[in-house]
Amino acid sequence: MHGAPQDRSIEETLTPRSVAVIGASEDLTKFGGRILKSLIQHGFEGAIYPINPQRESLRGLACYPSVQRTPAPPDMAIMAVPPDAVRETVAACAEAGIKAAIIVTAKFSEAGDEGAAREREVVEVARRHGMRIIGPNCLGLISPVNNLALCASPALFVPELPPGEIGFVSQSGALMATVFDRAITRGIGFSHCFSIGNQADLELCDFVEFLVADPHTKVICSYLEGVKDATRFVATARRVHDAGKRWIIVKAGRSEAGAAAAFSHTASLAGSFEAFAAACRAAGVLVMDDTDAMTLLAALLGRFPETDPRSTAIVTTSGGSGAIAADRLTDGSVPLASFAPTTVTALQVHYPAELCTNPVDMGAAERGLLTGVVSDTVDIVLRDPATDIILTPVTTVPDIKLVAEHVVVGEQRAAEAGYVKPHILLLQPAQSGEAARGALKQAKALYTDNLDEAVRTIAAWQRLASLRRRAAPERPADLPAAPGIGRGGAIDEIAAKRLLDAYGVPVNRAELARDAQNAAACAERLRAPFAVKVISPDIVHKSDVGGVALDLDTASAVEEAVTGMAERIEARLPEARIEGYAVQEMAAGDLEMFVGARRDPQFGPILVVGAGGILVELLRDVAVACAPIDATAALELLNACAASRLLGGVRGRPPLDVAALADAISRVSWLVHDLGDRFEQLDVNPVLVSTDGCVAVDARLLLGTGSDDANGAEGASA
């Protein structure tokens, strides 16, 4: 008897013990034909029920006219029926007591409103009976550890499904099959692969949670186009991490233009991909941009979960290939190992002393490229204390297969002596390398024929090793309980800086003047030298329209500046609403930095820091994080920007006060966090950084109306 549907775990749902193939056939041009073939061929041990009213038997199995007529209710069904027949077929499955149905059929929510309505209907029908749905618009699943292939891809027409430690969840079915195909061709196996399609019912996180609990899976890989539920995504990512597993994601859409809103720089600097990537970083998830490198890294991680590949050694059959590899690793910021003296001495058995350095060119061995030289060299280098990982570019030499085999022999010898280190063989020969590829696959050695992929893999591994799942930041004790904000819309410089001040971000003193005369009076209360700026909801970049005057020494200079400014703006922007002029103190600083934030509709407030002033959009030198962050995380964020090199002091000039800047960044992140769902965008540009502190001299904030008015009381803070 089946358990009540609501009690059914995701484990039970996704590990069927019997399956029905609706529309089963012997015709390999049909979905049902290919699915049945793969299902039988790979030795699924549970019951297989082909469903086809026209046939008594198919491929030697009894065939049934409908899912209701099978001897026992199947656990899972897969269907590729026409769109119009899906609802009825799903209803039949649900009524038959099937636990989960895979809908391969497309033309649902991905194809517009009508399809979306049909999809909702189908989910409703299934839910009524507690049946779960995978898809629609998916390619099904491949579970090598269960000898189960419920997928119509020809990628499954292989002698066996190699099981492995990688779980793969893909939003694209075609890509799932391709990644599977490419991986098994080089001997990399999977625990389970799921094509999740439109995720009408079971969604990404359901599958990932299954893999978190799955004892066969060590590393989870995903291909994603978008995230349906960001909160659940982040919670799931944390669970992956807490289970001691790793999650690597390739996400499409990185090149998508930033949000269109022209209000601030932030919108164009941190689009939805950056927000996603920031959320992943904070949760310890690695984002990559290439599926081949993703699978190679996942395979390496499955074998060497503890490795932090900080320095790489190159052992090659060709000096040229080794030199190019060294260049590319360096371009990819992957450091090369400098061999320990013991390694150098050991290598001298085969090489002249001056050649015992990284990269090692085995072609330059005194006795030539003998198999013994290959295995010895690999063995010696793997024992090198300064080497964490080796890359072995093998070029088109005589006996490539033998050379490749002896690379593996060397690796095994080192492993037997306790030097278990990762090793990537870069097999560069094309047709002449076929036999070597076969041998490497047999020996379960990890290889690639693509230098770029090898470099990306090692670089990504280094990034992963440095990813730490962040604990929630601690709220500084001196922050106000809530920011005092009133109306929504664009908040001008003076009001925005008042909020920053309340949060402990240093700002320069300023007063709002109505006109030139009033400006002079304001200046009397401030310390010279002064700056004057126009305040208008219609002017975003004040200096572009002559709305900023700097270095004014006297009150009368301030008065004159305002008069001139008013005339200039009247001439250029007669329509602009002028609310007044900010008279303020000049602040000193050696570097202009940018601190901004925007609210991502999925991941909440996203903080952006980088080179400021007019350089911000020119250089686009920014780093992005989910707010709030503490000062330590802010410091790391700054270090991710090229501008951080300027903060360290250039050419004998003393270093700037990064600690003060990091503290200010953290405080800004709390402010935007506290603004809640009223927060839209904030630009603090520039923050002037000096050797002793920092000052925000310009700020602009955009607030929405928000849904809660709890923060709406004006003047909650000074």
User: Site for Mg ion (CB under 5 A): how many residues?
Assistant: 2
Establish if 214 lies at the interface with ligand ADP (CB under 6 A).
Answer: no
Minimum gap (Å) between residue 592 Cβ and ligand ADP: 6
Query: Which one of Mg ion, ligand ADP, none is in contact with 46 (Cβ closer than 5 to 8 A by kind)?
Result: none
Query: How many CA atoms, within 13 angstroms, populate the side-chain half-sphere of residue 557?
Result: 12
CA distances from 418 to 246, 411, 415, 667 (A): 25, 11, 5, 49
Establish if 592 lies at the interface with Mg ion (CB under 5 A).
Answer: no
Binding flags for ligand ADP, 319-338, as an x/- string (CB under 6 A): --------------------
Residue 282: name the closest of 307, 311, 247 by CA.
247
Tokens coding 356: 């015992």
Q: Please, what is the Cα angle at 602 between 601 and 604, to 5 degrees?
A: 75
Q: Which of 531, 606, 625, 662 binds ligand ADP (CB under 6 A)?
A: 531
Minimum gap (Å) between residue 588 Cβ and ligand ADP: 7
Contacts (CB under 5 A) with Mg ion, residues 668-707 = 685, 698
Minimum gap (Å) between residue 503 Cβ and ligand ADP: 19
Minimum gap (Å) between residue 593 Cβ and ligand ADP: 10
Q: Which is nearer to ligand ADP, 440 or 616 (CB)?
A: 616
Residue 500: name the closest of 210, 697, 295, 234 by CA.
697
CA distance 524 to 88: 81
Q: Which of 406, 421, 533, 599 binds ligand ADP (CB under 6 A)?
A: 533
Q: Which of 584, 602, 644, 669 binds ligand ADP (CB under 6 A)?
A: 584
CA distance 74 to 150: 14
Q: Which of 8, 30, 254, 541 binds ligand ADP (CB under 6 A)?
A: 541
**Cβ count near 652 (within 10 Å):** 5
Q: Which is nearer to ligand ADP, 272 or 584 (CB)?
A: 584
User: Site for ligand ADP (CB under 6 A): how many residues?
Assistant: 17
Establish if 595 lies at the interface with ligand ADP (CB under 6 A).
Answer: no
Minimum gap (Å) between residue 523 Cβ and ligand ADP: 13
CA distances from 434 to 155, 170, 447, 652 (A): 20, 30, 13, 57
CB proximity list for 242: less than 8 A, separation 6 or greater: none
Q: Which is nearer to ligand ADP, 261 or 710 (CB)?
A: 261
Residue nearest to Mg ion (CB): 698
Among 33-41, 401-409, 519-527, 585-593, the segment contacting ligand ADP (CB under 6 A): 585-593
CB proximity list for 696: less than 8 A, separation 6 or greater: 497, 500, 505, 506, 507, 508, 595, 664, 684, 686, 687, 688
Minimum gap (Å) between residue 697 Cβ and ligand ADP: 4
Q: Are 46 and 17 in contact (CB under 8 A)?
A: yes
Q: Which is nearer to ligand ADP, 236 or 584 (CB)?
A: 584
Q: Which is nearer to ligand ADP, 162 or 546 (CB)?
A: 546
CA distance 217 to 206: 15
CA distance 423 to 365: 21
Tokens coding 540: 């975003």
Backbone CA torsion sign across 441, 445, 450, 453: positive
Find out whether the peptide bond into 74 is cis, omega within 30 degrees of 0: no
CA distance 24 to 58: 8
Establish if 186 lies at the interface with ligand ADP (CB under 6 A).
Answer: no
Establish if 311 lies at the interface with Mg ion (CB under 5 A).
Answer: no
Q: Which is nearer to ligand ADP, 130 or 613 (CB)?
A: 613
Minimum gap (Å) between residue 649 Cβ and ligand ADP: 20
Minimum gap (Å) between residue 698 Cβ and Mg ion: 4
Query: Which one of Mg ion, ligand ADP, none is in contact with 437 (Cβ closer than 5 to 8 A by kind)?
Result: none
Q: What b-and-e string marks burial along 69-93, b requiring 16 or more CB atoms within 10 Å of the CB? A: ebeebbbbbbbbbebeebbebbbbb
Residue 626: name the closest of 617, 616, 635, 637 by CA.
637
Q: Which of 184, 313, 587, 682 binds ligand ADP (CB under 6 A)?
A: 587
Query: Which one of Mg ion, ligand ADP, none is in contact with 631 (Cβ closer than 5 to 8 A by kind)?
Result: none
Q: Which is nearer to Mg ion, 18 or 685 (CB)?
A: 685
The two beta strands, 604-611 and 580-585, are unpaired
Minimum gap (Å) between residue 163 Cβ and ligand ADP: 59
- Residue 710's φ and ψ, nearest 5 degrees, are -60, -30
Q: Which is nearer to Mg ion, 394 or 622 (CB)?
A: 622
**DSSP tag of 29:** T
Query: Which one of Mg ion, ligand ADP, none is in contact with 550 (Cβ closer than 5 to 8 A by kind)?
Result: ligand ADP
Contacts (CB under 6 A) with ligand ADP, residues 506-525 = 508
Q: Scanning the structure block, which residue is given the tokens 């693509």?
A: 450
Contacts (CB under 6 A) with ligand ADP, residues 665-704 = 685-686, 697-698
Q: Scanning the structure block, which residue is given the tokens 């050695």?
A: 445
Minimum gap (Å) between residue 597 Cβ and ligand ADP: 16
Q: Scanning the structure block, which residue is given the tokens 């030198």?
A: 621
Q: Which of 178, 371, 450, 543 binds ligand ADP (CB under 6 A)?
A: 543
CB proximity list for 120: less than 8 A, separation 6 or greater: 200
Query: Which one of ligand ADP, Mg ion, none is in contact with 533 (Cβ closer than 5 to 8 A by kind)?
Result: ligand ADP
Q: Which is nearer to ligand ADP, 468 or 509 (CB)?
A: 509
Q: Which of 592, 600, 630, 674 binds ligand ADP (CB under 6 A)?
A: 592
Q: Which is nearer to Mg ion, 325 or 531 (CB)?
A: 531
Q: Which is nearer to ligand ADP, 15 or 685 (CB)?
A: 685
Establish if 118 lies at the interface with ligand ADP (CB under 6 A).
Answer: no
Indicate the SS3 state at residue 715.
Answer: coil
CA distances from 151 to 20, 70, 94, 142, 177 (A): 12, 21, 21, 7, 9
Q: Which of 586, 624, 668, 672 binds ligand ADP (CB under 6 A)?
A: 586
Q: Which is nearer to ligand ADP, 405 or 585 (CB)?
A: 585
Q: Which is nearer to ligand ADP, 468 or 525 (CB)?
A: 525
Q: Are 20 and 98 in contact (CB under 8 A)?
A: yes
Minimum gap (Å) between residue 696 Cβ and Mg ion: 10
Q: Which is nearer to ligand ADP, 356 or 682 (CB)?
A: 682
Minimum gap (Å) between residue 269 Cβ and Mg ion: 14
Q: Are 99 and 129 in contact (CB under 8 A)?
A: no
Residue 272: name the closest of 248, 294, 251, 288 by CA.
251
- Residue 550's φ and ψ, nearest 5 degrees, are -115, 165
Q: Which is nearer to ligand ADP, 80 or 682 (CB)?
A: 682
Residue 142: name the closest of 183, 172, 177 by CA.
177
Establish if 376 lies at the interface with Mg ion (CB under 5 A).
Answer: no
Establish if 568 lies at the interface with ligand ADP (CB under 6 A).
Answer: no
Contacts (CB under 6 A) with ligand ADP, residues 598-627 = 613
Q: Which residues of the chain form contacts with ligand ADP (CB under 6 A)? A: 508, 531, 533, 541-543, 548, 550, 584, 586-587, 592, 613, 685-686, 697-698
Q: Which residues of the chain form contacts with Mg ion (CB under 5 A)? A: 685, 698
